[in-house]
Amino acid sequence: MPIPVRKPRIPWSTPLLAGLVALLAVLLAPPGAAHAAQDPAGARPPGGSRPVYSYDRAIRETVWVDTGLDGDGDGRADRVAADVIRPREAAEQGRRVPVIMDASPYYSCCGRGNESQRKTYDAQGNPLQFPLYYDNYFVPRGYAVLLTDLTGTNRSDGCTDIGGPSDVQSAKAVVDWLNGRARGYASRTGTGRVGAGWSTGAVGMIGKSYDGTVANAVAATGVKGLKTIVPIGAISSWYDYYFAKGAALFGSGPDGLAAGVESPGARDRCRAVQRRLAEGAPRTGDWTSLWSERDYLDGARKVRASVFAVHGKQDLNVRTKHLGQWWDALAEQGVERKIWLSTAGHVDPFDFRRESWVPTLHRWFDHYLLGYDNGIEREPMADVERAPGQWTTDRVWPPRGTRAATLRPAPGPVPGAGTLGTRPAPYGSTAAFTDDPGRSESDWAATVDRPTPDKVAFTTGPLAHDLRLAGSSSVRLTVTPQAASAHLSAVLVDLGPATIRDYAARGEGIRTLTERTCWGDGTPADTGCFQRTEPAAVSTDHTVFSRGWADLGHYAGLAHGRPLTPGTAYGITLDLAATDHVVPAGHRLALIVAGTDAGLLEPASTTPRLTVDLRRSAVRLPLVGGDDALARATADAGRPQARPTAPLTPYGPRPAGPTLLP
């Protein structure tokens, strides 16, 4: 499919000529093409919907939708502002259109996309600029684009509650309105009703970060009419955004985020909501009812929509743990899914693979919202970036034949620099480190073969064959602290030369250029032209590709953290972020265990010395080929395994001494 970058446009200083060109596009389109864009049962142009509608003449309007909630306690139901742009010609012909919706709290405070675009309005309050390219590209192709302000943000009533019932209802109510189940109004306070008879009722939600999170949450309600979602770098459980098994991740709590996104007028009226957010999310890391309300995983059983998930494997903002657990929950329900995994950080696919992304998204929406049988659901499920700009595909993901395999740490010739293999360590083997909150995973990886007091590291020998991990790993540790509190980090490292996206830099793996390309059509207020990007690459001899953290005081569960008894052994499992990474032949695989991961994890109240019982610790890896692939790669097949004499736990025998293993 040719790259849909239009030729230089007629200057918008000649609006009459531009309008004539748009009119000719409709008149000269193949018979039935304009109608097909709205009518899945009618004749369709081959291949997919085409840009046969004018963008400059599109209807632009705002509808205030009743959420049925009174989050700000002012005695009346909150209304959310839904800014709509839709083809005028379709309305004139009585043709209905499907809707692409992005519900967000960021349209006035922070902006959307790589250029932080905000909504703009004319003097009468009518929308002028719709951030991002969705309107420019899809409205001429027979879609409506609807951008919803979540409660408490921009022009909406109510209070934002950071992924809670109000946020979710903000967007769900709009889906209901589009399907005739909720009330819409022509103004924020008036009584004039507005219907959505122009809509087919078919809705696709899309968005990055918070926006994609709302798409996940609305899909988890099972609302009728939501046909597909495209969550990009999205959260699946808000607890896991702020904490990692009890350990607080850097940043403010949900009350701080609420204060950052709320409109100025909401800040006074929403103080009670902010207080509830702060009280319900203590920085102790304990699970509370607030987190239960904001955990969408259980709702996977209600999902009716197909899901096209996109995530950066090096996203340190919304970590891929969110993707992995959401993907697995959807798989259990048999939800139709597609996935793109990049090597960038928290970056939109429009900015890391634009020329492939837009036509792929176009075909996805054509299929699920317009009913085109274009085969996209039968194509390979996964696109995975291996190196900057280099992609592979998989028929399903994780690939068939992916099975859990176990690697075990063992002492090496030098304390603190051990080995990683399939045989358990001898009984009594230990390795110790002292938490240093000033050291990070990059510091640890750079000194993986050199003992340092802040970490212990374990490495395989050079691999005989490639070793591919696809999915979520975990590390089971038995640890004895010498203080009443302790944080733990575990990271997987690919030791060998590579060129990777510079995900730790400001652009998180992309470099923004000055040149622009245009996607769809535009007006002076909303050009549809965006700055190009290119991969920002860096050469390295070690790549951290998965990580996880925990507060040892939550060894017994998330409900309550407990003070530790110095000198007592505790067992805990660290969940490592999902990934798809190939450790090439000749490289080594490393597991590093340490304390606070500087810049990502907040320190514990103490900086203890911790001793790891190696016999009772192990890492579980989702390997393509399972144990057989591991044996080939580590050349360990056929070696006799040590026979433990104590009863086995999933990761080795229980310690004989005092322990609080769950």
Instruction: Give the catalytic positions in this structure.
Output: 209, 315, 346
**DSSP of 204-252:** EEEEETHHHHHHHHHHTTT-TTEEEEEEES--SBHHHHHEETTEEBSS-
**Helix, strand or coil, per DSSP, at residue 605:** coil
Which DSSP symbol is given to 426?
P
Count Cβ neighbours within 10 Å for each residue of 54-88 and write b for 16 or more, e otherwise. bbbbbbbebbbbbbebebbeeeeebbbbbbbbbbb
432 CB contacts (<8 Å, ≥6 apart)?
Answer: 416, 456, 609, 610, 611, 612
For the chain, how are helix, strand and coil distributed in percent, rounded to 5? 25, 35, 45
Q: CA 553, CA 559: separation in Å to the nearest integer?
A: 11
DSSP assignment letter at 367:
H
Chain centre distance of CA 394: 20
Nearest CA-CA partner of 626 in 325, 402, 314: 402
CA–CA gap between residue 101 and residue 124 (Å, rounded): 23
**Single-letter residue type at 16:** L
CB 5 within 8 A of CB 38: no
DSSP string, 140-171: GGT-EEEEEEPTTSTT--S---SSSHHHHHHH
- Residue identified by tokens 């085109």 is 372
CB distance 173 to 80 below 8 Å:
yes
Q: List the one residue out of 507, 209, 580 whose CA is nearest residue 344.
A: 507
Can you tell me the distance from the alpha carbon of 629 to that of 89, in angstroms, rounded to the nearest whole number?
A: 58
CA distances to 2, 15, 130, 360, 389 from 356, rounded to whole Å, are 10, 31, 22, 6, 11
Burial of 178 (0-12, 13-18, 19+ CB in 10 A): buried
Distances, alpha carbon 393 to alpha carbons 333, 368, 382, 390, in Å:
23, 22, 5, 11
Cβ atoms < 10 Å from Cβ of 232? 24
In this structure, the chain runs to a length of 662
Separation between Cα atoms, residue 115 and residue 104, nearest integer Å: 16
Distance spanning both ends of the chain, measured CA to CA: 55
Asked if 89 contacts 53 with a C-beta cutoff of 8 angstroms, the reply is yes
Give the phi and the psi of residue 552 in degrees, each rounded to 5: -60, -25
